[in-house]
Structure 1
Amino acid sequence: MTAATFRALHHGRATGDPLVLPGPWDAASARVLADAGFPALATPSAGIAASLGYEDGATPPDEMFAAVARIVRAVSVPVSADVEGGYGLAPKELVERILETGAVGCNLEDSEGHATLKDPQRHADWLAEVRAEAGDALFINARVDTFLVGTGEPADALARARLYLAAGADCVYPLLAPPEVLPLLREGIEGPINMAAEPDRESVAELGRLGATRITFGPGMQRYAARTIGDLAAALRV
């Protein structure tokens, strides 16, 4: 599958009909989700970290890229990879590493260690370099972390989102933006918007109705699976 196929899934969508991208954390979960009929998948870095025994943000790059490659090999649908902040790699090497996994898209965040926001213009310039290296071969989902570690003001999210789209990002992802802010973001952003949902139908439906183009779940599915296994384990104890 190509980035063009994946990119096309984001466009021409009616309000209330978002692109729902489940988040596999290993090859087995990827197969289950693809077999359920989803047209594409989006890996969560935190979910993969948990599956490999690391804290969120602590997965060595080689292990993250290897995990993404295993997921891509396991399915026939497009896969986008959460590669956090790019692991300090130069744009050329980062793009090469992502494409080597077979992924057709990536998430790139604009905070350092989930603690400090990057300078927006410098980050936009870096995204432009990533786009230049990737050409059309990667769908770039630019995460906006102002609701995570910034002011939480919609105006700040809008300013960053516009910079990142102008730099060549295909989509913006205002992580942890409250649902009630989404209509304002939708009105001010001329491009696809990714929102994070809880892994339930009601959360997905609400975000779609409010204007989300694309919905992902972060590590929600991996954590749901872990809780389910915990419940099963508890029930098996005698």
Structure 2
Amino acid sequence: MASINKLAQTLKALHKPGSPLILSNVWDISSLNTIVSLNSEPHKPVKALATASFAIAATLGIKDEELSMVQNLEAISKIAPLAVKAGLPLSVDLQDGYGDLITTVVTAVVEYGAAGANIEDSIPSAGFDKGISGSLYTIEDQVERLKRALDAAKKAGAPDFVVNARCDAFCLSPTPGLTHEIKLAEAIKRGKAFLEAGATTIFYWGGAGGLTSETVKRLVKELDGKVAVMMSGAPGSLTTADLAKIGVARISVGPSLYFAALDAVKTVASRLFSGGGLA
């Protein structure tokens, strides 16, 4: 069985601008086993795994922002050992790192078997309607927090732990004077600072509609391709092929597979109630 740091090294090496790591986010043992089963195919398409805090929260009947550190760690403690057993590096969604508990939570997930983590720069209690200074940690504070996370991972045995530093500048609610260009400039400034602090990639999310190709191209150019994005399910959104061509290093889907699974259950159940069969 590979060591956690060996898995972290593998995960880090999979982040290649233009040939991105594609992650299908999981939320429990069943979803993990379903994705891992794809590697029974000769070309073994699954290279790594990731969790989605939104989906984990949804299984508990709560909102993403209500998911506690204890609840998230409980789910990760079940998922991570199975990822290790499968020989696949796992990146876990740690939201904002739970404030001052960031060292504690990173230490715990490394001990469970995680090789990397998402850590957000937005303040959960603030929401997205208070502008850059009110909704996001300052750049200086977030840099210090990311360094603490990486130091905790190193002390826990994973010096190559992969931090996918999420920047939520594009999620901020519209307010007077907060234009897209201002958000973009802030996103680039934060991205460069987070990479300097030791992050492997900078994760940008553009909300339900996703980011435009022009925005992604600018981010890729400014950050040397060290960009991670979440795919949007909106019609006409960028595909994995589109994003690879632009030059991103990492693509994830968040809770999209969770929603797809529920839709499949709903479709079959509706057919049964209408006199049909399972197929």
Using structure 1 for the length normalisation, give the TM-score: 0.91
Q: Does 1:107 align with 2:118?
A: yes
Aligned mate of 1:29, from 28, 31, 55: 31
Shift of 1:202: 6.4
Number of the residue aligned with 2:201:
171
State how 1:112-123 maps to structure 2 within 5 Å.
Answer: 112-113=123-124, 114-115=127-128, 116-123=135-142
Matched length = 235
Report sequence identity in percent: 29
Residue 118 of structure 1 aligns with an amino acid whose one-letter code is Y
**CA distance in 2 between partners of 1:95 and 1:125 (Å):** 14
Unpaired stretches in structure 2, ≥5 consecutive residues = 40-45, 129-134, 275-279
Whole-angstrom CA distance in 1 between matches of 2:47 and 2:100: 30
Number of the residue aligned with 2:12: 7
1:111 partner letter: S
Quick check: which has more Rg, 1 or 2? 2
Q: Does 1:128 align with 2:162?
A: no
Matches within 5 A, 1:114-193: 114-115=127-128, 116-135=135-154, 136-149=159-172, 151=178, 152=180, 153-176=183-206, 177-190=211-224, 192-193=226-227
Corresponding residue of 2:42: none
SS at match of 1:36: helix
Q: Report the secondary structure of 2:163's partner residue.
A: strand
Offset from partner CA, 1:46-71 (integer Å, 9 cap, x none): 01111222111211211211111211
**Partner SS, residue 188 of structure 2:** helix
Mapped contact 1:193–1:214 kept (Cα < 8 A): yes
Which deviates more, 172-181 or 137-146?
172-181
- Which residue of structure 2 lines up, in the alignment, with residue 234 of structure 1? 270
CA contact (8 A) 2:8 2:116 kept: yes
For residue 137 of structure 1, report the CA deviation from its aligned partner.
4.4
What one-letter code is carried by the residue in structure 1 that aligns with 2:8?
A: A
Q: Partners of 1:207 and 1:234 in 2: how far apart?
A: 36
More deviation, 28-37/213-222: 28-37
2:94 maps to what in 1? Answer: 83
Pairing of 1:47-86 with structure 2 (within 5 A): 47-75=55-83, 76=86, 77-86=88-97
For normalisation by structure 2, the TM-score amounts to 0.78
1:106–1:157 Cα change, 3 Å: same
Determine the C-alpha separation between the residues in 2 that align with 1:51 and 1:42: 16
Q: 1:57 is paired with a residue of what secondary structure? A: helix
Counterpart residue type for residue 252 of structure 2: T
Residue equivalent to 1:98:
109
After superposition, the CA RMSD in angstroms is: 2.0
